[in-house]
Amino acid sequence: VHKSYLLNKNLLKEVKKHFNNRFVLVLDDYSQTKILSGRSYYQAIRDLLDY
């Protein structure tokens, strides 16, 4: 997702497309944490999530 984050796929609630080949990943936690993906991870995220 980003070099600063490690993502537990089981906590992923929602994936939103963002501009410039990025995604916003919303986690299913208490604060509904939002993580902006890095552009270099675009294809890897698409492949992982079959998006």
In a domain, 37, yes or no: yes
CA neighbor of 34 nearest in space, from 18, 50, 51: 18
In a domain, 1, yes or no: no
21: left (phi over 0), alpha (psi -120 to 50) or beta: left
> pLDDT truncated to tens, each residue of the chain (51 aa)?
767 888 888 999 999 999 999 999 999 999 999 999 999 999 998 898 887
Query: CA 17, CA 31: separation in Å to the nearest integer?
Result: 20
* Domain of 35, in residue numbers: 9-49
In a domain, 4, yes or no: no
State the residue for tokens 């509904």.
Answer: 32
